[in-house]
Amino acid sequence: MELADDSPAASPAASPAASHGDSHGASHGASPANSPAVTQEPSEKEDFKLSLITWNVDGLDVENLPERARGLVKYLNLYQPDVVFLQELIDPYVHFLKKRFVSYLMIEGAEEGYFTGMLLKKSRVTFVESEIVPYRTTKMRRNLLVAQVIVDGQKLCLMTSHFESCKANAKERMNQLHVVKWRFKHAPDDVTVVFGGDTNLRDGEVTKVGLPATVCDVWEQLGKQEHCRYTWDTSANNN
């Protein structure tokens, strides 16, 4: 299977989670979050900006893969994000993205099947190291992809994941959220943690697990812009 970028058409089946140079995360309370221990001067906070998009490319839907790939290319070219969190990647998709976006570093969450990944803009993001954190009880080969990076002198811990799917797997999703929560709580004092992805979380599941008081939803912090509210808008996506 090969993917070719031969059309500007956007796929209607995916929605960007960031726009206008601001970072935004997954809905249902599991959005990108600031580490509770971050300390910065006010002037540094005002000057620091990070643009981020999170996108489930639905790589398992082979029939619509080329159209979805064109849609992703359109949005990445439009917004030029510093960081891209990706879910449901497959190997042909990875090869396509590496060829199409040579100005980004690709980090992969696995080597086979379907998996998560990150694109890091080389001109803006300095890569330090990455790790794959397994979810011990997953039945769907899900994990947490973590990358330590530096942007404008600020240390960041970037994390993305694709939590267990389907309503019946609430317990496993909450187990996976606990892993993310632990990472929030144990981040070093000089590191900001940013998490986003396809969590499949329901509001009640987030309430049961709870999050540290200093974890915030970036979309809410940036003014709740309606046009980028949903990472999966059921009025625009019918599958």
Query: Is residue 5 domain-resident?
Result: no
The length of the chain in residues reads 239
Query: Is residue 17 domain-resident?
Result: no
3-state secondary structure of 19: strand
Tens of pLDDT, residue by residue over 64-94, are 888 999 999 999 999 999 999 999 999 999 9
Q: Which domain holds residue 95?
A: 42-216
CA distances from 147 to 83, 91, 113, 115, 229 (A): 11, 20, 21, 15, 25
Query: Catalytic annotation on 217?
Result: no
Query: Is residue 25 domain-resident?
Result: no
pLDDT band for position 4 (cuts 50, 70, 90): low
Query: Is residue 198 domain-resident?
Result: yes
* One-character DSSP codes across 78-118: HH--SEEEEEEE-HHHHHHHHHH-TTEEEEES-SSSSEEEE
- CATH assignment at residue 154: 3.60.10.10
Check residues 29 and 54 and name the one with the higher pLDDT. 54
Query: Is residue 113 domain-resident?
Result: yes
Mean pLDDT of 215-232: 86
Tens of pLDDT, residue by residue over 106-118, are 999 998 999 999 9
Query: Is residue 10 domain-resident?
Result: no
Q: Minimal CA–CA distance to 126: which of 80, 161, 158?
A: 158
The domain total for the chain is 1
Q: How far apart are CA 112 and CA 121, in angstroms?
A: 24
Mean pLDDT of 150-163: 98
Query: Is residue 46 domain-resident?
Result: yes
pLDDT at 22 over 80: no
pLDDT at 37 over 90: no
Q: Which of 22, 58, 82, 198 is catalytic?
A: 198
The neighbouring-strand residues paired with 87 are 56
Cβ–Cβ < 8 Å for 18, 231: no
Please tell me the predicted confidence (pLDDT) of residue 13: 29
Query: Is residue 62 domain-resident?
Result: yes
3-state secondary structure of 221: helix
